[in-house]
Amino acid sequence: MSNVLLEVKDLKKYYKVPKGMLHAVDGVSFNLEKGETLGIVGESGCGKTTIGRAILRLVEPTSGSVIFDGVDILKLNKQEMRHMRRNMQLIFQDPFSSLNPRKTITQTIEEPIILANMIPDPDKRFMRVMELMDTVGLAERLVNTYPHELDGGRRQRIGIARALAMNPKFIICDEPVSALDVSIQAQILNLMKKIQREMGLTYIFITHNLAVVSHFSDDIVVMYLGRLIEKAPSETLFANPLHPYTQALLSAIPVPRIHNRPERLLLRGEITSPINPEPICRFANRCNYAMPICSKEEPGLIEAEPNHFVACHLVGRGNGCSFS
């Protein structure tokens, strides 16, 4: 247990919107061990970004707790939180809009160092920036260039260097390669893995791309409309997905091969609204296996096999799984 770096317990983030209460994240719990990577997947709007931001308290969670390195960070005051945040960084999806267009690469990377007054000496600070640029594979000649002069891959490298500037222990990567071409995407993924190995970093890796997440993660969390509906070690999840939504999600990925193509499990209909959701299974209206109970009760999360959690009425009704 001592190896746990992050413990998220019953985390909720609700937004008040004109039509009611929007349940962006609705009671999510998980643990993350040091040096491991947790992948979070799910469809657009299921709450992935909100979880990441709530863990870092970039949005204030509605309730729940986030215990980082033994400290309940939701109890920290502003100043303590600012200190804590050095250990916890975020890499954004859109490498363009997340960078200040009026700052050069050097200025962008050194900004957090200056704000934290970590290296007061300008020469030493510049050395640190050069070191960071080298780590992420940015050529020295680029020091004085601006974001718009660079391609998406290089911009994302700046985002990574900036996140590394404070020597964090933990980085939340929110769709870090989604905006990039495959050849550039692979360069960035390899870089992020190398850095993790060398610095012993712990990652939360948010993406809607299951191939990327499977390549990267130890454990995977599948979200649906604010709820955690399945969690398992990566291999287990791909070999034996238990939730009907996870099964559909896996089978919907277009696989880049022409032989042994998997059978498609198609869903129908739209994702239901996250506003004032009823206490029923939120997937029921699209589920191919829905039973009467699914529209009456919300299924709880149960451990179907060791380390494999799922929230579905089909699973664990006495006789284990009713499908394989």
Ligand X SMILES: Nc1ncnc2c1ncn2[C@@H]1O[C@H](COP(=O)(O)OP(=O)(O)OP(=O)(O)O)[C@@H](O)[C@H]1O
Contacts with Mg ion, residue ranges (CB under 5 A) = 49
Q: Are 9 and 30 in contact (CB under 8 A)?
A: no
Q: Give the whole-angstrom CA distance, residue 297 versus residue 324.
A: 23
User: Which tokens sit at 109?
Assistant: 């990377």
Binding site for other proteins (CB under 8 A): 43-44, 151, 153, 181-187, 189-190, 193, 208, 210-212, 214-218, 234-235, 238-239, 248-258, 261, 264, 266-271
Regarding 274 and contact with ligand X (CB under 6 A), the answer is yes
DSSP one-letter string for 125-173: HHHHHHHHHHHTT--GGGTT--GGGS-HHHHHHHHHHHHHTT--SEEEE
Q: Give the whole-angstrom CA distance, residue 236 versus residue 241.
A: 7
**Nearest residue (CB) to Mg ion, 216 versus 314:** 216
The listed partner (ligand X, Mg ion, other proteins, none) that binds 151, CB under 5 to 8 Å by sort, is: other proteins
**Nearest residue (CB) to other proteins, 213 versus 228:** 213
Could you tell me which stretch among 14-22, 74-82, 188-196, 255-263 binds ligand X (CB under 6 A)?
14-22
* Smallest distance from other proteins to CB 62, Å: 24
* Smallest distance from Mg ion to CB 206, Å: 7
The listed partner (Mg ion, other proteins, ligand X, none) that binds 47, CB under 5 to 8 Å by sort, is: ligand X
| Ranges assigned E (strand) in the chain | 4-17, 20-33, 37-41, 63-68, 71-72, 88-91, 170-174, 202-206, 219-224, 227-233, 302-305, 308-310
The listed partner (Mg ion, other proteins, ligand X, none) that binds 58, CB under 5 to 8 Å by sort, is: none
Distances (CA, A) of 66 to 48, 53, 57, 92, 224: 16, 12, 9, 21, 21
Binding mask 190-209 for ligand X (x = CB under 6 A): ------------------x-
The listed partner (Mg ion, other proteins, ligand X, none) that binds 268, CB under 5 to 8 Å by sort, is: other proteins
Q: Give the whole-angstrom CA distance, residue 1 versus residue 204.
A: 19
Regarding 50 and contact with ligand X (CB under 6 A), the answer is yes
